[in-house]
């Protein structure tokens, strides 16, 4: 995957796609081959050099030490003394999961977080994850954590050997989209046992457009 190919694909997308009444994302789709997903788990985080072109909604599951910081910094704050309300009504947790991209958890209350929220957030891949920097100490700088998460992409395969993620949006500069796409691609290669030989094909597309082939 190289800059010129992505640049040409973006030009074609812009010329051939109909205008929509909402801001479309620019999606990167990478199909894998010759890989046994039962043996090789593709599930990791990539920190981009720039933000990814869409709002990142972040919720904090925190103890008293981080309540004020969380309320100032994050989209939603759920103090530990309100956990019981959510434990009694799983629908509230499902709505939280639908409305947020990441959950930050205070390390000292992670057992309570797992008990109350784990059954819903776990299967969706949204439990506070230390690999993404989402499990934090009581004195954490949540502003720094939030800024990093706004540039973080979660890449994972489920049943099918396909990576489908965001590389930007219609109003993201071409330079940033190209940089994001190459950063994602190179990070994925490092996770694959046979590197480039495990890549079948790659495409880029708008939310509502036909894909343009990259490789």
Instruction: Kindly report the average pLDDT of the chain as a whole number.
Output: 95
Q: Are residues 64 and 126 in the same domain?
A: yes
Segments forming the whole domain that contains residue 75 = 58-144
Angle at 24 (CA atoms; ends 210, 208), nearest 5 degrees: 25
Q: Which of 83, 115, 144 is the last residue of a domain?
A: 144
pLDDT tens digits for 147-157? 999 999 999 99
In the chain, the number of structural domains is 2
Are residue 102 and residue 171 in the same domain, yes or no? no
- The enclosing domain of 186 has a CATH number of 3.30.190.20
Q: Measure the CA–CA gap between 97 and 94, rounded to whole angstroms.
A: 5
Domain's final residue, options 144, 169, 198: 144
65 and 137 within one domain: yes
Is the domain of 111 the same as that of 169? no
Mark whether 129 and 76 lie in a shared domain.
yes
Clarify whether residues 14 and 37 are in a common domain: yes
What is the edge-to-edge ordering of all strands in the sheet holding 199-206? 162-169, 25-32, 199-206, 212-213
pLDDT tens-digit series, residues 63-117 = 999 999 999 999 999 999 999 999 999 999 999 999 999 999 999 999 999 999 9
Rounded to the nearest 10°, the torsion over CA 73, 75, 80, 85 is: 160
Residue 54 has pLDDT above 90, yes or no: no
98: domain CATH number? Answer: 3.40.50.790
Same domain? For 62 and 140 the reply is yes
Q: Are residues 84 and 158 in the same domain?
A: no
204 and 160 in one domain?
yes
| Residues 171 and 202 both lie in one domain | yes
Residues 41 and 75 both lie in one domain: no
Share of the chain above pLDDT 90, in %: 87
Distance in angstroms (rounded) separating the CA atoms of residues 18 and 206: 10
Residue 51 has pLDDT above 90, yes or no: no
Ranges of H-type helices in the chain = 3-16, 67-73, 83-88, 90-99, 110-121, 142-149, 174-191
Full-model pTM: 0.88
- Same domain? For 104 and 70 the reply is yes
**Is residue 21 over pLDDT 90?**
no
Residues with Cβ within 8 Å of 169's Cβ and at least 6 positions away in sequence, in order, are: 23, 24, 25, 26, 53, 54
Q: Which of 144, 160, 192 represents a domain boundary (last residue)?
A: 144
Q: According to DSSP H, which parts of 136-173 are helical?
A: 142-149
């Amino acid at each position: 995957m190289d800059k010129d190919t992505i640049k040409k694909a973006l030009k074609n997308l812009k010329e051939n796609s109909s205008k929509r009444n909402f801001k479309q994302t620019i999606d990167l789709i990478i199909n894998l081959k010759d890989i046994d997903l039962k043996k090789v788990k593709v599930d990791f985080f990539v920190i981009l050099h720039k933000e990814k072109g869409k709002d990142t909604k972040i919720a904090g599951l925190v103890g008293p030490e981080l309540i004020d910081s969380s309320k100032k910094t994050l989209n939603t704050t759920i103090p530990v003394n309100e956990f019981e309300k959510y434990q009694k009504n799983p629908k509230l947790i499902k709505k939280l999961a639908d409305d947020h991209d990441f959950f930050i958890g205070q390390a000292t209350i992670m057992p309570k977080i797992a008990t109350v929220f784990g059954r819903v957030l776990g299967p969706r891949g949204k439990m506070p994850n230390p690999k993404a920097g989402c499990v934090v100490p009581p004195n954490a700088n949540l502003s720094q954590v939030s800024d990093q998460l706004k540039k973080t992409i979660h890449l994972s395969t489920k049943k099918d050997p396909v990576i489908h993620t965001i590389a930007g949006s219609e109003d993201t500069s071409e330079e940033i989209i190209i940089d994001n796409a190459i950063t994602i691609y190179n990070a994925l290669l490092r996770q694959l046992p046979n590197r480039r030989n495990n890549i079948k094909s790659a495409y880029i597309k708008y939310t509502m457009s036909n894909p343009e082939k990259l490789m």
